């Protein structure tokens, strides 16, 4: 076995690989950019090497620097994780040329499956069913549109070298095709350095089901069952689970055998995923399946497979790369229970899932284990109910340079119902302050009847938007009372022997009533808090109720309020009070807080950049009169495109930035006058 490996990645996957390597007695080398000098993955490894500045193209995508770091530190192998150089055939070949083991498939397999178009041609020769479409070399707009017209709308335009949902556009009408193609090509070129695309029929109710395959250098190849990844936003996965709900044994075997055949056809070695798409009926049951693509790497969602099989797939990768046989063959594999993974992101679901940046001023996660255990290739299936894979800690920053994932939360249950119950409970214990995140959205999604009943397809979030994006409920008196309790607990803790530091409002022969004003998205909340000898009396609207603070430890508060006793976590971040109670996160703010710049349309009539990025296209001319919803310009941030639209009917007076210019978050982009 290797004595030292280099992990050519960052974040949670670098931490994940390091954990298995440590358990196996393998020393690890981290690499990092200037933005990641103090990152968790650097601390997780035995030593670390700086690559360069923050942008990935100047650091994590510099294969020659990574190979030089491996040589300098004596690493015998490189684990690429996923993303970055994990599916780069030139990097895999460069490792081989340098005498360093690439922990992944051979360059020839990456080459064969790296292009979606070429992979589909290969699968067509192997008689694997394909979605109707065009995957050819001619990339002229006229030809691509002609094929779209022939296939029939809606169609899907997809980057040929793509992945992770980038460079994909659904086109519902022929007149929208040219603009969608141009946008897709720009995003594909920016993300993959390759603007080639394919066009295929867009299934109306598709289910995304993928098969985990594994092969060694001794001719053995197995499938470790399936994962359902149908729940997606912006073509990126949100929830993954294994096994796929409603999967029959016959369908599982057929898809598994097709995936193994695909892997063998390209001489595959290591971990890979063959992705299929199937048209679902009105109940979510998958019908005929079609080959979509093969990912020649470990997947983000590999933990759910580990949870139902009991095997550590990173250990399998290391053993296979070392020339060993697979730890188990097909007849040794079985499914145990049900596992679900959700991806906790720094993003704002209410703003089209825009990625967010900021510092994690508070991060609390449920009790968990680091990863599945596996001893010497022998299955040791004893899954903990909750697992967290994360590459950040409290105090770390989510930067604009990389994927904004905060953590993966994985749960296991004897069946899907138990797994769902455990997932809901675990999400209630994920408390994040300092950056917009999707935890509340995930909680609503898990609670959604359609998801709970496994009526799955890739349009579930869009179909259920009325429920999933419902206006926030009225701020309850419980939330306001907890916010008051946090204020007085913190003030009491700050008191000294100086009587002027007292904030309890002592009065002779009378009580003191303090006016506390909060605001939230639901308006202003005026609370009168009366200080008494035995505690407090809370006055808000028609409610007049006693409030007593029973216990306070860290962020945890136990209170008696209005003849009830309950507990919650309340975190104060300057004047924002974050109340985590009953599985939901509510924020109220003291009224003197200054509104954050850039969160809404600027007062001077301009439009603000929702996040740092670069202007890549302008759609209308200065002086143009536009209607509400008209696309004005396109920004690129975190390799994704974000269209800025007119907030109302009006006139575009000026563009304050040109194409190619960098823009800071909150900066005015457009001078705009509303129609009277």
CATH for 549:
3.30.700.40
Same domain, 486 and 579: yes
128 pLDDT higher than 80 = no
284 pLDDT higher than 80 = no
Find the distance separating the first CA and the last CA of the chain, reported in whole Å. Answer: 74
How does strand 631-637 pair with strand 358-359? unpaired
Q: Which of 201, 228, 261 is the endpoint of a domain?
A: 201
Same domain, 416 and 338: yes
Same domain, 505 and 576: yes
How does strand 431-433 pair with strand 362-364? antiparallel
For 157, the 3-state DSSP assignment is strand
In a domain, 288, yes or no: yes
pLDDT value at residue 638: 63
How confident is the model over 615-624, as pLDDT tens digits? 999 999 999 9
How far CA 164 is from CA of 57, 197, 295, 520, in Å, comes to 18, 15, 10, 35
pLDDT band at 265 (very low <50, low <70, confident <90, very high): confident
pLDDT value at residue 509: 55
**Residue 493 CB partners (closer than 8 Å, separation 6+):** none
Runs of H (alpha helix) within 290-342 = 302-309, 313-321
How confident is the model over 596-613, as pLDDT tens digits? 333 344 444 458 887 778
545 exposed, middle or buried (CB, 10 Å; 0-12, 13-18, 19+)? middle
> How large is the average pLDDT for residues 305-328?
97
How confident is the model over 194-251, as pLDDT tens digits? 899 999 888 878 899 999 999 999 999 999 999 999 999 987 899 999 999 999 999 9
Burial 370-402 (b: 16+ CB within 10 A, else e): bbbbbeeeebebebbbbbbbbbbeeebbbbbbb
> How large is the average pLDDT for residues 103-128?
84
Q: Which of 185-189, 435-439, 478-482 has the lowest mean pLDDT?
A: 185-189
In a domain, 394, yes or no: yes
For 447, the 3-state DSSP assignment is helix
Which phi and psi (to 5°) does residue 530 adopt?
-95, 125
Contact present, 454 and 246 (Cβ < 8 Å): yes
> How large is the average pLDDT for residues 173-200?
91
336 pLDDT higher than 50 = yes
pLDDT value at residue 430: 97
- CATH number for position 173: 3.30.1490.20
In a domain, 470, yes or no: no
pLDDT value at residue 118: 77
> Could you list the residue range(s) of the whole structural domain that residue 39 is in?
4-103
Same domain, 558 and 640: no
Q: Which of 186, 201, 216 is the endpoint of a domain?
A: 201
Residues 74 and 132: their CA atoms lie apart, in Å, by 49
Contact present, 157 and 588 (Cβ < 8 Å): no
68: left (phi over 0), alpha (psi -120 to 50) or beta: alpha
pLDDT value at residue 602: 43
Same domain, 505 and 429: no
Residues 288 and 294: their CA atoms lie apart, in Å, by 18
Which active-site residues does the annotation give? 297
| Widest distance between CA atoms in the chain | 92
Residues 536 and 481: their CA atoms lie apart, in Å, by 10
pLDDT value at residue 502: 52
In a domain, 117, yes or no: no
In a domain, 462, yes or no: no
Q: Which of 85, 103, 121 is the endpoint of a domain?
A: 103
In a domain, 339, yes or no: yes
- CATH number for position 39: 3.40.50.20
Same domain, 633 and 573: no
Same domain, 519 and 538: yes
Residue tagged 């004893």 (tokens): 382
In a domain, 44, yes or no: yes
pLDDT value at residue 522: 85
Residues 18 and 28: their CA atoms lie apart, in Å, by 6
Tell me, what DSSP letter sits at residue 378?
A: B
Same domain, 268 and 213: yes
Instruction: Determine which helix (DSSP H) or strand (DSSP E) holds 225, and give its type and residue range.
Output: strand 221-233
- Sheet with 77-79, strands from edge to edge, namely 47-52, 27-33, 4-7, 77-79, 101-102
402 pLDDT higher than 60 = yes
Structure tokens at 665: 């978050």
In a domain, 118, yes or no: no
pLDDT value at residue 507: 53
pLDDT value at residue 540: 96
> How large is the average pLDDT for residues 45-56?
96
pLDDT band at 511 (very low <50, low <70, confident <90, very high): confident
pLDDT band at 282 (very low <50, low <70, confident <90, very high): low
503 pLDDT higher than 70 = no
Same domain, 269 and 383: yes
Same domain, 147 and 242: no
Tell me, what DSSP letter sits at residue 371?
A: S
Which stretch, 286-295, 375-384, 626-635, has highest mean pLDDT? 626-635
Residues 474 and 664: their CA atoms lie apart, in Å, by 34
pLDDT band at 377 (very low <50, low <70, confident <90, very high): very low
Residue tagged 């079985």 (tokens): 334
Task: Give the number of other Cβ atoms within 10 Å of residue 107's Cβ.
Answer: 20
Helix (H) and strand (E) counts in the chain: 17, 39
| CA-based torsion, 455, 458, 463, 464: positive or negative | positive
> How large is the average pLDDT for residues 464-482?
90
Contact present, 567 and 559 (Cβ < 8 Å): yes
Contact present, 205 and 285 (Cβ < 8 Å): no
The overall average pLDDT reported for the chain is 89
- CATH number for position 616: 2.40.50.100
Same domain, 76 and 22: yes
Same domain, 578 and 561: yes
How confident is the model over 32-44, as pLDDT tens digits? 999 999 999 999 9
CA angle 332, 336, 339 (to 5 degrees): 130
> How large is the average pLDDT for residues 290-300?
91
> How large is the average pLDDT for residues 7-28?
97
Task: Give the number of other Cβ atoms within 10 Å of residue 594's Cβ.
Answer: 7
Per the structure, how many domains does the chain have? 5
């Amino acid at each position: 076995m290797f004595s030292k490996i280099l992990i050519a990645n960052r974040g949670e996957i670098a931490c994940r690989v390091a954990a298995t390597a440590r358990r196996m007695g393998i020393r690890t080398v981290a690499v990092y950019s200037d933005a990641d000098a103090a990152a968790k993955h650097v601390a997780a490894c035995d030593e670390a090497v700086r690559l360069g500045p923050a942008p990935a193209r100047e650091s994590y995508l510099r294969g020659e620097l990574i190979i030089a770091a491996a040589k300098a530190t004596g690493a015998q192998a490189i684990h690429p994780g996923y993303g970055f150089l994990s599916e780069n055939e030139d990097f895999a070949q460069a490792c081989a040329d340098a005498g360093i083991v690439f922990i992944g498939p051979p360059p020839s397999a990456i080459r064969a499956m790296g292009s979606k178009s070429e992979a589909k041609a290969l699968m067509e020769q192997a008689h694997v069913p394909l979605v109707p479409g065009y995957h050819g070399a001619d990339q002229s707009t006229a030809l691509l549109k002609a094929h779209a017209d022939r296939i029939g709308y809606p169609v899907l335009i997809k980057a040929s070298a793509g992945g992770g949902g980038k460079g994909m556009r659904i086109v519902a009408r022929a007149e929208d095709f040219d603009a969608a193609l141009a946008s897709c090509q720009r995003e594909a070129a920016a993300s993959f350095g390759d603007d080639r695309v394919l066009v295929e029929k867009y299934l109306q109710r598709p289910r995304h089901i993928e098969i985990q395959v594994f092969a060694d250098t001794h001719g053995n190849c197995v499938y470790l069952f399936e994962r359902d990844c149908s729940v997606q936003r912006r073509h990126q996965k949100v929830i993954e689970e294994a096994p796929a709900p409603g999967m029959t044994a016959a369908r599982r075997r057929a898809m598994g055998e097709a995936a193994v055949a695909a892997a063998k056809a390209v001489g595959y070695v290591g971990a890979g995923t063959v992705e299929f798409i199937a048209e679902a009926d009105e109940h979510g049951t998958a019908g005929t399946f079609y080959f979509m693509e093969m990912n020649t790497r470990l997947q983000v969602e590999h933990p759910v497979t580990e949870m139902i099989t009991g095997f550590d797939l990173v250990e399998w990768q290391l053993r296979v790369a070392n020339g060993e046989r697979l730890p188990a063959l097909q007849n040794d594999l079985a499914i145990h229970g049900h596992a679900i993974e959700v991806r906790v992101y720094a993003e704002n679901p209410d703003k089209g899932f825009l990625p967010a940046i900021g510092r994690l001023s508070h991060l609390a996660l449920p009790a968990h284990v680091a990863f599945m255990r596996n001893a010497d290739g022998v299955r040791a299936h004893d899954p903990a109910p909750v697992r967290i894979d994360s590459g950040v800690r409290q105090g770390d920053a989510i930067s604009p340079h990389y994927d904004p994932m905060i953590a993966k939360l994985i749960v296991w249950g004897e069946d899907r119902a138990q797994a769902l119950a455990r997932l809901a409970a675990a999400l209630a214990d994920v408390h994040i302050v300092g950056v917009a995140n999707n935890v509340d959205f995930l909680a609503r999604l898990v609670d959604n009847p359609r998801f709970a009943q496994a009526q799955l397809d890739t349009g579930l979030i869009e179909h259920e938007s009325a429920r999933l994006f419902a206006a926030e409920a009225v701020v309850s008196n419980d939330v306001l009372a907890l916010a008051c309790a946090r204020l007085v607990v913190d003030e009491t803790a700050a008191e000294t022997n100086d009587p002027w530091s007292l904030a309890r409002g002592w009065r002779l022969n009378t009580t003191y009533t303090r006016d506390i004003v909060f605001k939230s998205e639901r308006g202003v909340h005026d609370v009168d808090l009366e200080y008494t000898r035995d505690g407090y009396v809370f006055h808000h609207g028609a409610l007049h109720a006693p409030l007593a603070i029973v216990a306070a430890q860290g962020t945890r508060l136990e209170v008696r309020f209005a003849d009830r006793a309950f507990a919650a976590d309340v975190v104060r971040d300057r004047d924002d009070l974050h109340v985590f109670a009953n599985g939901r996160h509510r924020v109220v703010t003291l009224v003197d807080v200054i509104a954050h710049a850039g969160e809404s349309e600027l007062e001077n009539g301009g439009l603000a950049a929702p996040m740092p990025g670069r202007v890549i296209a302008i759609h209308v001319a200065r002086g143009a009169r536009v209607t509400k919803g008209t696309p004005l310009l396109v920004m690129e941030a975190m390799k994704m495109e974000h269209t800025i639209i007119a907030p109302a009917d009006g006139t575009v007076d000026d563009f304050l930035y040109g194409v190619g210019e960098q823009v800071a978050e909150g900066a005015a982009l457009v001078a705009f006058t509303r129609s009277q």
